[in-house]
Amino acid sequence: MQFTELISTLDGLHRQLSQQAARQADQLLTLRNYLFGFYIVEFEQHGIDRAAYGQQLHKRLSIELQKYSIKGVSDRSLRQYRQFYLTYPQIWQTLSAKFKLPDFELIQKIDVASNANTNQDLPALNPSLLLDRLTYSHFVELLKVDNPLLRRFYEVEALKNNWKVHELNRAITTLLAERTSLSTDKAAVIARIQENQPAGLEDLIRNPYLLEFLGLQEKPEYTENDLEKAIIDNLQDFLLELGRGFCFEARQKRISFGNRHYRIDLVFYHRILKCHVLIDLKIGEFDHADAGQMTVYLNYYKANEMSAGDNPPVGIILCASKDNSLVEYATNGMANEVFVSQYLSELPDKKQLLALIERESHGL
């Protein structure tokens, strides 16, 4: 062996074992968070003094655990761990087998919960694949998907395509499952996630607004223009979805500040509230910059578009998903003029999506 070969061998060994160590550490983190969730649920159901804590349980628990210098135990994180356990009871069998946990009574309890809570209608997926190939950060993204069938789609695609966390996030926030089920060229739609190309936007709002009336036809892929055209073509139904009193005024309303120009996606006037309603469409998750942009729009309308008797304008930011705490901080002090809603597409046919998941999971 040459000296240069020795260096290369040791470097490769270091990289390989470091990766394994990091992966095992993440699996142990997943195990810890999962068990935190389990014990929290157990206390909520059977704790002797649980009534004394009530709605303050997670906050009180967070305060006490931080005294022990435990990381990742904020009020919000503890609620997330609880949700993790309730969403993935079937993971327990893999965790107990892999790490040979000694608490056999605990194992028996969770095995019973796993068999009782696993959705039998979903295509089968070996839970050990999830634990072996997804990090806890992947699970955080998956927990954002309330519908078990849609969540299974993202689980399968994340495994099949070796998605990184940001790729999984992008798939969920751009409604990949809905877009794929509506497209004839499904492989092209899925491939865009890793190519980092702009994804199509074919849905809109309520909190959540379910726009079943759009009736999008199958096309190879969907674009944002398809959505805008569908909304305008079905404007009457869209106004009914929004509620009473909305009168359509403008689409892509341009406002200018010197040589800088901005466009407001949709502008309505509410005849009951006597104010303008400005709607801004966002493809992905809500970001604090979205609130700042809407503030600019609202201030412009206050200064230039209000008539005698009008009330101040209202802004609605329509996005694929939102983090409620971020929304709270970003919109604090804005006098409730900005509302962040979530849009959903027309739900895909269940049988069609089941067939797609079965096909995509073949060979995993």
| pLDDT reading at 307 higher than 70 | yes
Does position 286 have pLDDT exceeding 70, yes or no?
yes
pLDDT at residue 128 tops 90: no
Question: Cα separation of 17 and 189, whole Å?
Answer: 36
Distance CA 212, CA 264 (A): 24
Percent of all residues in the chain with a pLDDT value above 90, rounded to a whole number: 16
C-alpha span between 197 and 176 (Å, rounded) = 13
Sole residue written with tokens 């190309």:
197
**Poorest-confidence range of 36-45, 61-70, 87-96, 329-338?**
329-338
Cα distance between the two ends of the chain: 39
pLDDT tier for residue 63 given thresholds of 50, 70 and 90: very high
Note the maximum CA span of the chain: 88
Position 325 confidence tier, pLDDT thresholds 50, 70, 90: low
Mean pLDDT, rounded, of the chain: 76
> In the structure encoding, which two tokens stand for residue 194, read together?
């890793």
State residue 275 phi and psi, 5-degree precision: -155, 160
Which pLDDT value is given to residue 336?
Answer: 56
Res. 57: pLDDT tops 70: yes
Print the SS3 string covering the chain.
CCHHHHHHHHHHHHHHHHHHHHHHHHHHHHHHHHHHHHHHHHHHHHCCCHHHCHHHHHHHHHHHHHCCCCCCCCHHHHHHHHHHHHHCCCHHHHHHHHHCCCCHHHHHHHHHHHHHHCCCCCCCCCHHHHHHHCCHHHHHHHCCCCCHHHHHHHHHHHHHHCCCHHHHHHHHHCCHHHHHHHECCHHHHHHHHHHCCCCCCCCECCCCEECHHHCCCCECCCCHHHHHHHHHHCHHHHHHHHCCCEEEEEEEEEEEECCEEEEEEEEEEECCCCEEEEEEECCCECCHHHHHHHHHHHHHHHHHCCCCCCCCCEEEEEECECCHHHHHHHHCCCCCCEEEEEEECCCCCHHHHHHHHHHHHCCC
Answer yes or no: are the C-beta atoms of 316 and 242 closer than 8 Å.
no
| Domain ranges for the chain | 1-87, 119-201+347-364, 209-344
How large is the average pLDDT for residues 97-112? Answer: 56
- pTM flag (> 0.75): no
State the burial class of residue 316 (Cβ atoms within 10 Å of its Cβ: 0-12, 13-18, 19+): buried
Q: Report, as an integer, the average pLDDT of 329-333.
A: 64
Q: Are 222 and 201 in contact (CB under 8 A)?
A: yes
Q: Which of 79-93, 148-162, 339-353 has the lowest mean pLDDT?
A: 339-353
User: Quick one: average pLDDT of 117-131?
Assistant: 74
Does 253 or 242 have the greater pLDDT score?
Answer: 253
From CA 281, how far away is CA 343, in angstroms rounded?
Answer: 9
- Rg for the chain, CA atoms, rounded: 24
pLDDT greater than 80 at residue 9 = yes
The pLDDT of 88-102, averaged and rounded, is 70
Closest by CA to 138, choosing from 123, 159, 114, 160, is 159
* Contact by Cβ (8 Å): 202, 230: yes
Which has the closest alpha carbon to 86: 133, 56, 119, 59? 119
Q: Confirm or reject CATH 3.40.50.720 for domain 209-344, answering yes or no.
A: no
At residue 84 the predicted structure's pLDDT band, cuts being 50, 70 and 90, is: very high
